Amino acid sequence: MGKTTGFLEYERETGKAVNPKARIKNFNEFHTPLSEAEQRRQGARCMECGVPFCQSGMMIKGMVSGCPLHNLTPEWNDLIYTGNWRQAYNRLKRTNSFPEFTSRVCPAPCEAACTCGLNGDPVSIKENEHAVVEKAYETGWAGANPPKIRTGKKVAVVGSGPAGLAAADQLNKRGHLVTVYEREDRIGGLLMYGIPNMKLEKHIIDRKVKIMEEEGVSFVTGVNVGKDCKADKLLKEYDSVILACGASNPRDIQVPGREAEGIYFAVDFLKSTTKSLLAGSAGTADTAMPVSFLKDGTYISAKGKHVIVIGGGDTGNDCVGTSIRHGCRSVTQLEMMPKPPEQRAADNTWPEWPKVLKTDYGQEEAIAVFGSDPRIYQTTVKEFKKTKDGKVCGAVLVSLEPKKDEKSGRVIMVPVEGSEREIPADLVLIAAGFLGSQKYVSDAFGVKLNPRTNVATEAGSYRTNVEKVFAAGDMHRGQSLVVWAIREGREVAKEVDAALMGYSNLM
């Protein structure tokens, strides 16, 4: 274990965040890492429990507890404490294909399940992970390591999000020839265009993709499989095909006035900002992303506008933070569900995921700029108002209250009669989640879908009803965490490898 009494001697520490009013001037990551000595003390806090819940990845009451990748967390925490950084990286990479991504964007279910958190603060696992992988890049340990032997088998991966990249990385290490197809102009899928730069700087993705290319993975961008490229072509050219296209159908809201100009899906808004930033940074060696890089005029702008964000999750928060960086006039975030408690409820015991109030970076910035939390709970839009020329200019909100549905027995949120009120809105961003995979891809390959419109497979398998075709990630399990996508990518790689070779030694 780390230090026998480390959890008693050292308090939890994480890297300090840049002041909200300073960080909104750019789109950069905004946490200052701990020093090596401070990070080693954080490693010392790990107790290497007899039952390490942090790496369990169990589902409890529909929520994950511990890491779905079953990261060997106590091992590399101990190695951080003793200063054996290279071995810490080796153990981290044993289970996690992309710690450079998860250490930035994962909500850390490992920390929520840490035993130290039962009666105190959990070990700073996510920060320790970040320190290990960045040390590996600084020292060259994370460099390219191409396979020494090739099998001659060819695999196509459709989609370059975390699931597709994880599958490609594993299969390439096994010696198969892997080609990844991406319909966008850059590799990364959700990582590139679904997560804003201040959470995951895009040069971090490019850095890893370059290494994968050096190791032998081929990437093809700007090709929309199912439209530009026929499914039959891939099935003829490759021994196996993996569909990892994500859950890309955004959930809409159908209320009067929805057709008004100025109402967008959150993913389109975030994507347009990232594309504009990357265009503005072209030709510069610096990785910094000041607000001034938003200069090509192609992005959906929130500058000077009253913004409403519909949805209280991570994507909604990302829209709040991005709108503030644009220079919005105001921002309001609507959440249908009741406000969570500040402390765990009696029926939400450890090691369940803590259903408590979380104020994320975007909300912190809104509080700093506008003086109040942008979130309004138990509220939705009843109607959008528009100008004579069809532009959105306001929204009629209605309060909601929980009631038990007599037929299903479930608690549903229903409108409160007479609670309507109108607020101004020049830009509306819908961040209400996703409904499943896009049908044209599944139709092109002839794969069956389940009732949730995800690609159907047998339990415990990633094999579809079509020979040689497998599915993984959000396209297979529905909208979920990056860490789940990586796990599915690794698992589908193992199943494909076994189908091609008769056995697999992949983890």
pLDDT of residue 435: 87
Sorting pLDDT into bands at 50, 70 and 90, what band is 244?
very high
Phi first, then psi, for residue 380 (nearest 5°) are: -145, 180
pLDDT in tens, 74-97: 999 999 999 999 999 999 999 999
pLDDT of residue 1: 63
pLDDT in tens, 184-243: 999 999 999 999 999 999 999 999 999 999 999 999 999 999 999 999 999 999 999 999
Phi first, then psi, for residue 56 (nearest 5°) are: -75, -45
For 263-430, which CATH superfamily applies?
FAD/NAD(P)-binding domain (3.50.50.60)
Architecture per CATH, 154-248+435-501: 3-Layer(bba) Sandwich (3.50)
pLDDT in tens, 159-184: 999 999 999 999 999 999 999 999 99
Tell me the C-alpha distance between 300 and 275, whole Å. 11
Lowest mean pLDDT among 1-5, 92-96, 458-462: 1-5
β-strands 306-310, 330-335 pairing: parallel
Q: What does pTM read for this prediction?
A: 0.96
Tell me the C-alpha distance between 375 and 339, whole Å. 9
Tell me the C-alpha distance between 155 and 238, whole Å. 5
Same fold, 154-248+435-501 and 263-430: yes
What's the residue count for the chain? 507
- Identify which of 257, 260, 302 has the alpha carbon closest to the alpha carbon of residue 391: 260
Whether 248 contacts 161, CB under 8 Å: no
Mean residue pLDDT of the chain comes to 96
Residues 6 or more apart in contact with residue 78 via CB below 8 angstroms: 1, 2, 43, 46, 48
Confidence check: pLDDT of 284 > 90: no
Tell me the C-alpha distance between 507 and 490, whole Å. 7
CATH topology assigned to domain 6-139:
Fumarate Reductase Iron-sulfur Protein; Chain B, domain 2 (1.10.1060)
Confidence check: pLDDT of 462 > 90: yes
Confidence check: pLDDT of 290 > 70: yes
Confidence check: pLDDT of 153 > 80: yes
Q: Where are the domains of the chain?
A: 6-139, 154-248+435-501, 263-430
Residues 289, 295, 296, 302, CA torsion sign = positive
